[in-house]
Amino acid sequence: MFFIMHVSSISRRLRAAALTALLGLALAACTSTTATTPAASGSSGMAGGSGMSPAGTSSAASSGMTGMTGMAMSSADPMPSGGGLAKTQDGYTLKLLSGSLNTAAFRFEILDSMGMAVTAFEPDQTKLMHFYLVRSDLTGYQHVHPSMAAGGVWTAPLATSAPGSYRVYASFIVKDSGGALKAYVLSAPVSMSGSATTTALPAAATSTSVDGYTVTVDGTLMAGMTRTFTVSVSKNGQPVHDLQPYLETYAHLTAIHQGDLAFAHLHPEGAAATADAGGPTLTFQTAMPESGNWRVFIQFRTAGVLHTAAITVSVS
């Protein structure tokens, strides 16, 4: 009796295995067919690019989505590689049209591998271009959103800066030749004439204050590893629950490395869904490219006012 039951069990398993194999072949065939369609060709954020930019401007269909169907841009944007210190990457080049910061409007272009101005960009947290400025001692931070003329010349509305050496960063997303979204941060050194006074970098801390708010950070950061980093906002000792959306999220974080001024953008988990309802704790995914001290700039909005808190964190 035991032998008969055992053979029956084996038979059932063989039939199940055969059915599984047939289903696997059918699914593989479906997958192979789908991958050749135009819709699928632009869905992968891992495809390599030629550096050539497609003509035209971004479409409304891609303004809120990446290639991962149903995921908001704020939580699934492609992440730029490297530390943002290159002027040229994958055929894209940051060309400064303003020689220094001694100008009311800072102008620049993004050139493709043929030396032509790129005019097709994809929204990154509601903006086609994020432009940053920071002085070599990690003071004078600015984050603005330039406007682009028809020919591809960008104008950044920077506030007057103190004398000294600076670095500017252009952060943007484009589609490569295969239609995949690619994120870049390109940068270049600039200066503001005059006698400069250097400010010492504050020591690493877990909290800082701005405009009456206390901002507390938590998380052990390690170079080259994606780690969770949290930011909590309070006022007068009470947790804040009325953060307003800013660039699709309840806070925007940028980090600059002491010394070489390497750049890191900390992406939040999830998008801001309701006005005046964010906080008190926000979670970010970090991938710092190198160890050392980083100055983290935390931007959040309340009652229509944008606040920028700065804090030094140590990355091991």
**Per-residue pLDDT, 99:** 86
**Per-residue pLDDT, 274:** 75
Grade residue 77 by pLDDT with cuts at 50, 70 and 90: low
How much is the average pLDDT of 70-99?
76
**Per-residue pLDDT, 20:** 39
Grade residue 252 by pLDDT with cuts at 50, 70 and 90: very high
Query: Does the predicted model carry a pTM greater than 0.85?
Result: no
Grade residue 82 by pLDDT with cuts at 50, 70 and 90: confident
pLDDT higher than threshold 80 for residue 127: yes
CB atoms within 10 A of CB 233: 26
pLDDT in tens, 96-119: 999 899 887 899 999 999 999 999
pLDDT higher than threshold 50 for residue 22: no
| Residue % of the chain over a pLDDT of 70 | 75
Give the Cα separation of 309 and 251 in Å (integer): 11
**Per-residue pLDDT, 277:** 85
